[in-house]
């Protein structure tokens, strides 16, 4: 029995380590300066690397995507457990499948957004040292492009700088995910009540 317990403890430890590594990848720390943040952003866009683009985002954006993934996974599990077989169940499973099966928020971002936006971001990458304006009180910076365009970066509390251009979209996605989850919970409760009535 001791050998079995030791094996289980080792397995549990390895699972926890894997989870921590995945979380660390999703919570990649930001750059120390706006210049470094713009460099990370530019490299990701130039390489067409969706994962690196996620890493270059500000903390708020990354946390919002992590929340979306978490709530989509929860909604998916509720649908599997509580929705009866039929078109609505199939439709809802399909809607939440990417978030439920993605290995991380980073992977979900790559699957749902990165490929579509990377070509559009190429115009925000310019050679040479960028002109940067810091906005009071000092947690927002904008790279001023030669054509007058601006690339926005934000500094999180106890975190570095990151690209903030996706923040409104990420916030909207999080809000939709919350309302979707609440609706799924309400529907599941209705199905449970209907099943209870039918069994009487």
Residues 164 and 140: beta-carbon distance below 8 Å: yes
Could you tell me the sign of the dihedral formed by the alpha carbons of 177, 178, 180, 185, in that order?
positive
Query: Each residue of 18-67: pLDDT tens digit?
Result: 443 444 444 456 689 999 999 999 999 999 999 999 999 999 999 999 99
**Which residues of the chain are under the pLDDT cut of 50?**
1-27
Q: Which two tokens stand for residue 195?
A: 């099943």
CA 157/CA 169 separation, integer angstroms: 21
> How many whole angstroms separate alpha carbon 102 and alpha carbon 130?
35
Contact (Cβ atoms closer than 8 angstroms) between residue 192 and residue 82? yes
pTM for this model (two decimals): 0.81
Q: Where do we find the tokens 């940067």?
A: 132
Helices (H), 27-49: 34-47
């Amino acid at each position: 029995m001791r050998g079995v317990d030791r094996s289980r403890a080792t397995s549990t430890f390895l699972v926890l380590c894997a989870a921590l590594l995945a979380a660390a990848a999703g919570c990649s720390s930001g750059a120390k300066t706006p210049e470094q943040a713009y460099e990370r952003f530019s490299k990701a866009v130039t390489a067409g690397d969706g994962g690196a683009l996620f890493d270059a985002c500000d903390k708020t954006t990354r946390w919002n995507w992590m929340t979306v993934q978490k709530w989509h996974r929860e909604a998916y599990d509720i649908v599997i457990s509580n929705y009866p077989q039929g078109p609505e169940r199939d439709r809802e499973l399909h809607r939440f499948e990417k978030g439920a099966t993605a290995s991380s928020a980073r992977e979900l971002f790559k699957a749902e957004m990165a490929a579509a936006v990377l070509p559009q971001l190429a115009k925000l990458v310019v050679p040479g040292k960028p002109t940067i304006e810091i906005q009071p009180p000092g947690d927002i910076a904008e790279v001023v492009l030669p054509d007058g365009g601006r690339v926005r970066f934000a500094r999180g509390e106890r975190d570095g700088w990151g690209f903030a251009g996706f923040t409104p979209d990420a916030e909207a996605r999080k809000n939709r995910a919350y309302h979707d989850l609440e609706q799924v919970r309400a529907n599941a409760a209705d199905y449970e009540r209907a099943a209870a009535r039918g069994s009487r």
